[in-house]
Structure 1
Amino acid sequence: MKFHKYHALGNDYLVLDPADAPMPSPQQTVAICHRNFGLGSDGILYGPLPTEKADFGLQIWNPDGSEAEKSGNGLRIFAKYLFDTGKVTDQPFTVDTLGGVVTVEIHDGGESIEVEMGKVSFHSDVIPVNGPPREVLDEPVEINGQTYSTYAATIGNPHVVLPLEDHSKKLACELGPVLENMTSRFPNRTNVQLLKVLDRNNIQIEIWERGAGYTLASGSSSSAAAAVAHKMGACDGQILVHCPGGDIQINIGENYAVTMTGPATRVGTFLMEDAVQDQVIPS
Structure 2
Amino acid sequence: MIPFVKGHGLGNDYIVLDESDLPRPLATEAIARICDRNWGVGSDGILLLVPSRRADFGLRIFNPDGSEAEKSGNGLRIFAKYLWDHGRAKKTTFTVDTKGGVVECQCRVEGGRMGFVTVEMGHATFRAPEIPMNGPDRDVVGVPLQLGDGTTLAVTAVSVGNPHCVTFVERLDDGECRRLGPLIERHPAFPNRT
TM score, norm. by length of structure 1: 0.63
Moved over 4 A (4+): 143-146
Write out per-residue CA displacement over residues 97-117 of structure 1, whole angstroms, 9 at most, x where no aligned residue: 000110001114312110001
What displacement does 1:89 show? 4.5
**What SS does structure 2 have at the residue aligned with 1:119?**
coil
Q: Does residue 39 of the first structure (1) align with residue 41 of the second (2)?
A: yes
Q: Which amino acid aligns with 1:157?
A: N
What displacement does 1:37 show? 1.0
What displacement does 1:132 show? 1.5
Structure 2 partner of 1:206? none
Q: Which amino acid aligns with 1:155?
A: V
What displacement does 1:91 show? 2.2
Unmatched segments (≥5 aa) in structure 2:
none
**What SS does structure 1 have at the residue aligned with 2:141?**
coil
Q: Is the 8 A contact 1:43 1:62 kept in 2?
A: yes
Q: Distance between the aligned counterparts of 2:141 and 2:174, measured in 1?
A: 24
Tell me which of 155, 160, 177 is aligned to 1:150.
Answer: 155
What displacement does 1:36 show? 1.0
What displacement does 1:166 show? 1.0
Q: Distance between the aligned counterparts of 1:26 and 1:148, measured in 2?
A: 32
Q: Distance between the aligned counterparts of 2:140 and 2:21, measured in 1?
A: 43
Q: Distance between the aligned counterparts of 1:107 and 1:66, measured in 2?
A: 32
Structure 1 partner of 2:135? 131
Q: Is the 8 A contact 1:23 1:46 kept in 2?
A: no
What displacement does 1:3 show? 1.4
Q: Is the 8 A contact 1:30 1:63 kept in 2?
A: yes
RMSD (Å) for aligned C-alpha atoms: 1.5
TM score, norm. by length of structure 2: 0.91
Unmatched segments (≥5 aa) in structure 1:
191-283
Q: Distance between the aligned counterparts of 1:125 and 1:10, measured in 2?
A: 30
What displacement does 1:146 show? 4.5
What displacement does 1:90 show? 5.3
In the alignment of these two chains, the number of paired residues is 188
Distance verdict in 2 for CA 1:39–1:84, change over 3 Å: same
Q: Distance between the aligned counterparts of 2:98 and 2:191, measured in 1?
A: 20
Instruction: Work out which structure has the larger RCO, using CA pairs closer than 8 Å and 6 or more positions apart in sequence.
Output: 1
**What SS does structure 1 have at the residue aligned with 2:4?**
strand
Tell me which of 98, 110, 115 is aligned to 1:111.
Answer: 115
What percentage of aligned pairs have identical amino acids? 49
Q: Is the 8 A contact 2:140 2:157 kept in 1?
A: yes
Structure 2 partner of 1:199? none
Q: Distance between the aligned counterparts of 1:147 and 1:28, measured in 2?
A: 36
Q: Distance between the aligned counterparts of 2:150 and 2:60, measured in 1?
A: 39
Distance verdict in 2 for CA 1:42–1:23, change over 3 Å: farther
Q: Which amino acid aligns with 1:152?
A: A
Q: Is the 8 A contact 1:90 1:105 kept in 2?
A: no
Higher strand share: 1
